[in-house]
Structure 1
Amino acid sequence: MRFASLGSGSKGNSTLIEWSGGAILVDCGFSVRETEARLARLQYSASDLSAVLVTHEHGDHVKGVAALARRYNLPVYMTPGTYHSRDYGALPELNLIENYQSFALAQLQIEPVAVPHDAREPAQFIFTYEGLSLGLLTDLGNISPHVERRYGNCQALILEANHDPMMLAGGPYPPSLKQRVGGLWGHLSNQQAAGFLQRYPMQVLQHLVVAHISQKNNSLELVKQALEPFVGTVANTLYACQDEGFDWLQLTSPVHAEAAL
């Protein structure tokens, strides 16, 4: 299993996951033309996709979902709350994720996880293939006990570190938006992400990607200052950006890794 990002931040989000049975796009927060261009940068085409998954209905995650699905005749998976929260128009194939029940796509196991975020029925996801798990964990205001239990044993983790509280407080957002972003149903701060990593079994991680970093309320320097004391044992730590996301990362089982030596 390998994964990459088309972009990560408040202007658009999309994660590409590929395994031997297919490929899925998680969210599509860009126009169809922009999505096609970003996929091409990864030597990929939307015609290679098996489906699109949606985490929640905010525009930076769903802007291009319906149009992309219609153009390439792609199935779309989302919770009922996410579907009923806005008008997506006609979709070629809609699959509703009821009650956060796990499901499979061509041997890829997908576990939806309920998260505290200011959307109608948001979900983040854990993807498991051949015993290896990738956890996608962005767009949540706090690490609930449920989230901590579910994400405790992933070999790869895409984790939000959205804002620095001081930058958010002194930044350009109106008070209501500052309160929303920094609240329990908003986005994770650098310190919240660091606290989660401090409790995480870091020895199991092959890849850690820090994502959804705000361009207005955060900086790479502040993110690294908060997180780097806890990521020293991770073989590969990356910081996703809005414009380029991140390139392909491969998850490899210990057996395969030893065979390659």
Structure 2
Amino acid sequence: MTLMQIDKKTGQSHDPSQLPWIGPVPGDIAEVEAYCRIFRATEQLHAALMDTLCNPLTGECKISYDFTSEEKPLLEDKIVSVLGCILSLLNKGREDVLSGRSSIMNSFQGAELSAMDDKLPPLAIFRSEMKRCCESLHVALENYLTPDYDRSLDVWRKLQRLKNVCYDSGFPRLDGYPCHMLFANWNAVYLSTSKEDLMSKNSEAAFWRGGQVTEEGLNWLLERGFKTIVDLRAEIIKDNLYEAAVADAIASGKVEID
């Protein structure tokens, strides 16, 4: 099986309720579920990060640093400021997404796609702002955490999970699909566009597409027999944990990267 790893709007439905950059229609229960996934992932990351950076009883730092004492406060301030921004976004997102849902839903139902482009729903705006915070935290933590420290790895994995749910559009998934924390926007791609073929039980996916593969996502793919990953992303994401895992998988002949 093949996974197409993408970051562009390809293979999308013409149904406005299924457009990835818009997400679920405001007022739909899927919108609330998507917000709750982001909230839970953020909560898990925050708990792991606080437990890793300092002892909750003594306040003593548990990890060593490879940078000067002058650089340390700057990095710590950056991490604290990003966490503060995320907390603010969560509170605002809860108000925007969960409050006044019926009135917002009415304004989007039956709207033309061209009109919706300039008026993104609250969840899409919230996800966009959270993505920027996640990228800032990614850059800060990649220089802050000690790679050989187990708790550092736990923080890194939880950050990747949060990034995935923020990049994910928020639509429900079928049974057997990976959870939103493992892959953003996971979906099957079929060669046939016939509705009858797609509804057939004998119809097989030509390949699967999804967002950035992480170390945990790679393990999920290997366990299910995926042999090829096609990376179509334009940007380069630094993820040493994934790079080490995929190098081992390639060396052992378990997967190919195109």
Q: Shorter-chain-normalised TM-score: which range?
A: under 0.3
Structure number with higher relative contact order (C-alpha < 8 Å, ≥ 6 residues apart): 2
Taking structure 1 as the reference length, what is the TM-score of the superposition?
0.27
Rg (Cα) greater in structure: 2
Which structure shows the higher strand fraction? 1
Which structure shows the higher helix fraction? 2
Taking structure 2 as the reference length, what is the TM-score of the superposition?
0.27
